[in-house]
Amino acid sequence: MPKFSVSGLRGPIGDELTPDDFLRVANAYARFLGAGKMLISRDARISGVMLEAQVTSGVLAAGCEVIKGGMITTPTSVFATKVLNLNGGITITASHNPQDENGMKFLETGRFLVPQRMAEFSSFASGFEFRKIPVSGLKEPKEVNALELHKKKLLELFGSESFEPRLRVGLDPVNGAAGPEAKEILEALNCEVHVVNFESTGRFGRGGEPLKENLEALSALVKEKRLDAGFAFDPDGDRLAFVDEQGRVPGEEYTVPLCSSWALDKSVSDLVVNLSTSRLIEHVAKEYKTNIFRTPVGEAHVVDKLLETGGVAGGEGNGGFIYPSFNATRDGLLAMTVLASLRRRSGSLASLVDSLPVYFMEKDKLHKEFSPRIRERVLQLFPSAQKDTRDGLWLGDEDFWLHLRPSNTEPVTRIIVEANTKERSEKILNEVKKICAA
């Protein structure tokens, strides 16, 4: 069996992972969940159609009923398992990874597997042999329009709002799964939509992540057409970044704070984000006089804490907004709709961005494992800082924080630093890299 991570399974197709791997893992997961109905869906990657057939075969052979979602976003898949009350599902995606990779994310009803359940499945699958039922017991797959289900409920969430004045917006779904649904939602919200990297070919027209450096074409489109906003997704649609009406790309760290303010306007309750999320969210929490909980990195940890505390919203600083009363996962389509609503109500995304404090974040990675030696050397560098060791090492003081942690998807140590000035953040990053490399 392939090696699983807390986020599922992903890797290069034909090298690390083969179609047969998808067949066997799907069969194992269907047996792990037990009899019932399972959603099978995929993003727009080139290998998706081939792998969808293998996953479907594996699930059918285990005796489960397949509900075919087709090419849809990851949040749409999660939403469909909830509203259809399915036993679970498998969505075929490698998230923001390069287009020659693919993978599997494993769903139970209305959410991804929590880390403990993922560990249980990994153990189950390691000793698993392919099981198949007699042909007479095979169930006929059924199709569902999951896109329409998600879109309808999302629009109902904003049903009491005025859709005037009309907005003119740009859309960059990176030739991934989000394009069709995002465009339909925006048009239903009385938006005039201009697109770049739109067709769902799975051949990404830019880098997969919605980072500043990847959104030059969207920024140029907003400036050229004098649009009111621009929205950019990752390939499976669970992360969102935006461009304001001036063509500025604030960065994906602004998505969760602005969307959380919308959620707090509806109901003031706790916020939950991970340890690597910008302190921008603390400004929002202070404004609404509410609490923030921080968790280890990983969507499942954030969702767990939101459900435990009854928190209203949260997410991860990579553009992943979570509003659990609607969808217990990062939902880029919801985030887009929230930001369109905020733009219409405020008259300016730029003014909303400028209302937040300015922090400077630096990200890098070391091509070595996070070790006790690295941990101790960094601790010595900042002896008076607050620390959190739940997920690598987090250190913080009044004017900065830093987070070193082993990647869940690569054999590297990730480093994130945020400070009140660019000089301070760059200095801390360089100091940490220097002592880690020694």
Neighbours of 410 (CB within 10 A): 12
Backbone angles phi, psi at 397, to 5 degrees: -140, -175
| Catalytic-residue membership of 407 | no
Whole-Å CA distances, 248 to 155, 205, 220, 244, 353: 27, 20, 10, 5, 10
Strand order from edge to edge, sheet including 386-388: 360-366, 413-419, 400-406, 393-397, 386-388
Residue type, 405: R
Burial of 431 (0-12, 13-18, 19+ CB in 10 A): middle
Backbone angles phi, psi at 6, to 5 degrees: -65, -20
Rg of the Cα trace of the chain? 22
Residue type, 248: R
Rounded distance between C-alpha atoms, residue 434 and residue 1, angstroms: 38
Question: How far, rounded to the nearest angstrom, does the alpha carbon of residue 182 sit from its chain's CA centroid?
Answer: 16
Q: What is the DSSP string of 315-384?
A: EETTTEEEBTTTBSS--HHHHHHHHHHHHHHHS-HHHHHHTSPP-EEEEEEESS---HHHHHHHHHHSTT
Residues near 27 by beta carbon (within 8 Å), at least 6 away in sequence: 58, 59, 61, 62, 128, 130, 131, 132
- The answer to whether the beta carbons of residues 205 and 196 sit under 8 Å apart is yes
Whole-Å CA distances, 105 to 6, 22, 60, 101, 424: 10, 11, 18, 14, 38
Q: Could you tell me the two tokens for 7?
A: 């986020």
Of the candidates 95, 219, 260, 341, the residue annotated as catalytic is 95
The beta strands (E) that lie in 174-228 are given as 191-195
Q: Could you tell me the two tokens for 432?
A: 């940490």
Q: Could you tell me the two tokens for 50?
A: 């081939």
- The answer to whether the beta carbons of residues 74 and 237 sit under 8 Å apart is yes
Q: How many residues does the chain have?
A: 438
Taking each helix axis from N to C end, the angle separating 372-381 and 422-437, rounded to the nearest 10 degrees, works out to 140
The residues annotated as belonging to the active site are: 95
